[in-house]
Amino acid sequence: MHFEVTELGAVERALQAEVRQFLTEELPRGSFVPGLGMNAAKDPAFSAKLGRRGWLGMTLPEEYGGHRRSMVERLVVTEELLRWGAPVGHHWVADRQSGPIIARYGTEEQKRRFLPPICRGILSFSIGMSEPDSGSDLASLATRAVRDGNGWLLNGRKVWTTGAAVNDWMIVLCRTTPVEEGGDKRSGLSQLMVELSADGVVATPIPFIDGTADFCDVMLEDVYVPDEQVLGTIGAGWTQNTSELAFERGGPDRWLSTYLVVEEYLRGLERGPVPHEVADLLGAAAANYWVLHHLTLSIARAVDEGRSPSIEASLVKEMGTRFEQDVLSGIQALIDLEPGLPARSMFERLLVTATLTAPSFTIRGGTNEILRSVASKGLAPSGGSR
C-alpha cells in the first residue's frame, strides 16, 4: 500500500480555475437547488454543456470522443462539480465507470457506438449489479442469460438501481454458466449491456428514504441481448466488474456528500468569534476534508503513473463515507432549529436531505464491512525491519 504525496501542477491548477469560473457563470449560487454530491439532480442540458467543455470522458481516447486527459485532471473537475452541488446525475455513472469499462473491455464497434455520446453527456447508464438476494454477496446473483440464436435471453431482477426508470442503458452482471458447470460462483458471470427501453425491461421506482424516486426495481423478462451487446468476455464478468468497482470507489464522491451542509452552516454563522464547540467542529471538518483531498489526489496520481491502487481506494472510501456521516452528526448537534419542510433556508433543505440519506453513504458502492474485508486482504505482512 502506498500513498505518495503529490501536488497539482500548473496545468491542473489552470483547469481548476476554469471549472470554478464556469460554475460561477453557468450555475450562480442561488440560481439552482444544489444537490448532495453524486445524489445531485439529473440535468441533461447541464451534462451536455460539460461535454462541450471537454469535461466528460476526460480520460478516454480521443478517437472515441474522449480527451486523453489524466485521472488527476478528471479529479479536479469532479471535485469542483460535487463541491458545488452541480446537477451531475445524468452523466455521473456513465462518466465515472461505464465509459472507462467500455473503453477497457469493449469491442471496437462498441467503443464507437457508446463512448462518443458518453463524452457528449447525452447517454446515461445504470449499474446492474445488486439483486434482492445478492447485495454484498454479489457473486451469488440469480439473474441469468441463456444462449439464444446470435445473442442471449436474459431473465432476472435487479434492485436498488439508481436512475433505471429514466436512464438509457444498464450494464447487467448476470450468470451465463451455471455454478455446477463453472466450478466456483465467481466464474460463469458475464456483463451484458441492456437498453432500458428494450422489450421485457420494466423499471419501477422504489421510493427512497427521503421520498425521492431515483432508486429502482428492474424486472428483466426474456430480454433479448444480441452478441454485440456483450461487454468483454463471456465468463469474465467477475474480473471485469471488480475493475469497474475500482473506478467507483476511489473518488471525491466518497467524502463530499455532506460538504455543502457544512458550507451552508458556515454561511449562516454570525460574524465575530464563534463558540468553542463550533470552532471544534469546523476545525475537525476542515482538517479531514484537507487530508481526504490529498489522499484522493494521491490515488488519482498513482493511476496516472500506471499503478492500480484498489486497496488504497477501498481504505479511503471506507473512512471518507464515515466522515461524511460524522461531520453531519456534528452539525446536527450544534443547531437549534427543528429541521422540517418546506425548508426555510438552503441550509435546512440540505440538512434534511443529508440526514435522511446519510445511511446510504456507507452502503452504496460496497458496504463498509465489505470494503474492510477487501482492504485487509491487501495488508499483507511486510517482513520489513523495525
Partner 1 sequence: MTGQDLLAETVERLLNATPPGEDPWVDLAAGGFAWVSVPESAGGSGGDLRDAASVLRVAGRHATSAPIAETMLGGRLLAGAGLKVSGGSLAVVPGPGLAVVDGRLTGSAVVAWAAEADQVLAVVDLDGSPVLAAARPEQLGIERRLNMADEPRDDVRFDVALSELVTAPLPDGAADDLQRDGCLTRVVLAAGALQAISEMTIDYTSQRRQFGRPIATFQAVQHHLVAVAQSAVRASMAAETAVRTVQGGGGAWEVAAARVIVDEATIEGTRAAHQAHGAMGVTREYGLQRYTRLLWAWRHEYRQAREWRRWLGSEVASSGADALWPRITR
CB 179 within 8 A of CB 123: no
As a whole number of angstroms, the distance between CA 164 and CA 102 comes to 19
Residues in 10-29 that interact with partner 1 by CB under 8 A: 16
As a whole number of angstroms, the distance between CA 315 and CA 303 comes to 16
Q: Is residue 291 involved in binding partner 1 (CB under 8 A)?
A: yes
Q: Is residue 333 involved in binding partner 1 (CB under 8 A)?
A: no
Q: Is residue 334 involved in binding partner 1 (CB under 8 A)?
A: no
H/E segment holding residue 117: helix 108-119
Q: Is residue 278 involved in binding partner 1 (CB under 8 A)?
A: yes
> Which is catalytic among the residues 73, 248, 264, 324?
248
Closest CA to 71 of 114, 8, 3, 156: 8
As a whole number of angstroms, the distance between CA 85 and CA 105 comes to 32
| Amino acid of residue 244 | E
Q: Binding mask 234-273 vs partner 1 (x if CB under 8 A, - otherwise)?
A: -------------------------x--xxx-xx-x---x
> Contacts with partner 1: how many residues (CB under 8 A)?
51
Q: Is residue 318 involved in binding partner 1 (CB under 8 A)?
A: yes
Q: Is residue 298 involved in binding partner 1 (CB under 8 A)?
A: yes
Q: Is residue 375 involved in binding partner 1 (CB under 8 A)?
A: yes
As a whole number of angstroms, the distance between CA 380 and CA 182 comes to 30
Q: Is residue 319 involved in binding partner 1 (CB under 8 A)?
A: yes
First to last CA, the chain: 17
CB 50 within 8 A of CB 121: yes
All three cell numbers of 302: 498513482
Q: Is residue 88 involved in binding partner 1 (CB under 8 A)?
A: no
Q: Which stretch binds partner 1 (CB under 8 A): 85-93, 107-115, 223-231, 291-299?
A: 291-299
Torsion of CA 258, 259, 261, 267, to 10 degrees: 180
CB 171 within 8 A of CB 125: yes
Out of 28, 149, 340, 384, which residue is the one contacting partner 1 (CB under 8 A)?
384
Catalytic annotation present for 131 = no
Q: Is residue 342 involved in binding partner 1 (CB under 8 A)?
A: no
Out of 27, 166, 173, 281, which residue is the one contacting partner 1 (CB under 8 A)?
281
The CA-atom distances, in angstroms, between 129 and each of 39, 89, 141, 142, 245 are 18, 18, 8, 11, 10
Nearest approach in angstroms of CB 384 to partner 1 is 6
Out of 219, 236, 284, 343, which residue is the one contacting partner 1 (CB under 8 A)?
284
Binding site for partner 1 (CB under 8 A): 1, 3, 5, 7, 16, 79, 83, 259, 262-264, 266-267, 269, 273-274, 276, 278-291, 293-295, 298, 312, 315, 318-319, 369, 372-373, 375-376, 379-382, 384-386
Q: Which residues are catalytic?
A: 248
